[in-house]
Structure 1
Amino acid sequence: MLIIESGAGDPDAESYATAAELVSYAAKFGVTIPADEAAQEALLRRAALAMNGMKWKGRRTHEEQALAWPREGVIVDHAYRKSNYIPREIFYGQLALAAEIHADDLTPPETRKGPVTLERVEGAVTREYGTITNTSGKLLPAAPDRPSQTQFADYLDRRGLFAVRA
């Protein structure tokens, strides 16, 4: 049974959403998730752990809290967010990320193709793909154009492109 973060900064919290909410999200958006509730809960835990590694605005509300949210000092659209509040974008972002993790689990790295580097049309079509540089043998992380990244954008410390001086 998942321990759901309520906004109190629970030191034992494992997720922002329940397995039933993940099932509802999957049905609404036509994404594939496992049928087994234990596997759904595992996906939500994995998504929450991945979210803990993201650089969010503000700081954790409680030093002992298990998850990245709730946070204090978060300004979005020129307004402070309450420190006991889990934004709906964080909630829906976790659901989207869980579905993306499952999709990544179903697609082995050896079946993936890189970007199209050559396409020639002369009667028959010739298409060439670039290689994916993944020497670890692990799956690549979810692409930045995935729904979870769209949900998280306003709450991440850095949004979009930025230049780094070398």
Structure 2
Amino acid sequence: MLIIEDGTGKTNAESYASAADLVMYAVKFGVTIPADEPAQEALLRRSALTMDGMIWKGRKMDSDQALAWPRRGVELDCQIKPDNYLPARIQYGQMALAAEIHTDDIDPVEKRKGAITLERVEGTVTREYATISNTSGRLLPAAPDRPSATQFADYLQKQGLFAVRA
């Protein structure tokens, strides 16, 4: 049975969404997920672990809580959110991430094709694809757009260089 975080900072929470939530999300957004509940729950656990590796705004509400959310000191739209604030986009983002992970599972890197680099039409069509580099040994994204990244955008710490107007 999947233990769901409810905003209290549970020490044994495994997910922000239930398998039933994931099924409803998949129907709404037309994404593919495993058919059986244990596999759905495993996918949600994997996505929650991936989320724990992200650098979020604020800090954990309690150092003993199992997951990254809820958090203290999260500023959004010039307001500090309550310590037990658990944004709906964290739950939706987890479900989007779970669907993305499943897509990566069922579409192995070695079967993916890169961008078309050559196309010739002379009676028959010849199409050549770029080689996808995978020297890191990590899976590459299955799709160019990642809905989870959009859901998480306001809650992640910004890193890197930023242009500043003078």
Q: Give TM-score scaled by structure 2 length.
A: 0.88
Q: Deviations over 1:33-56 (max 9, x none)?
A: 111100000000000000000111
Find the residue that maps to 1:67 and give its secondary structure.
Answer: coil
Q: Provide the residue aligned with 2:92 in structure 1.
A: 92
Distance 1:154 1:130 in 2: 34
The 5-angstrom pairing of residues 2-151 of structure 1 reads 2-120=2-120, 124-135=124-135, 137-141=137-141, 145-151=145-151
Distance 1:141 1:9 in 2: 31
Output the amino acid matched with 2:42.
A
Deviation of residue 111 (structure 1)? Answer: 0.8
Identity %: 71
Find the residue that maps to 1:31 and give its secondary structure.
Answer: coil
Q: Where in structure 1 are there 5+ consecutive unaligned residues?
A: none
Distance 2:160 2:152 in 1: 12
Deviation of residue 136 (structure 1)? Answer: 5.3
Given that residues 153 and 159 in structure 1 are in contact (C-alpha distance below 8 angstroms), is that contact kept between their aligned partners in structure 2? no
Find the residue that maps to 2:55 and give its secondary structure.
Answer: coil
Change (3 A) 1:156 1:27: same
Output the amino acid matched with 1:11.
T
Output the amino acid matched with 1:13.
A
Q: Output the aligned Cα RMSD.
A: 2.2
Change (3 A) 1:21 1:118: same
Find the residue that maps to 1:128 and give its secondary structure.
Answer: strand
Output the amino acid matched with 2:13.
A
Distance 1:47 1:140 in 2: 16
Q: Report the count of equivalent residues.
A: 163
Find the residue that maps to 1:127 and give its secondary structure.
Answer: strand
Find the residue that maps to 2:27 and give its secondary structure.
Answer: helix
Q: Deviations over 1:21-72 (max 9, x none)?
A: 0011111111111111000000000000000001111111100111110111
Deviation of residue 115 (structure 1)? Answer: 2.6
Q: Deviations over 1:99-126 (max 9, x none)?
A: 1111111101111112333445566544
Distance 2:112 2:27 in 1: 26
Find the residue that maps to 1:117 and give its secondary structure.
Answer: strand
Q: Where in structure 2 are there 5+ consecutive unaligned residues?
A: none
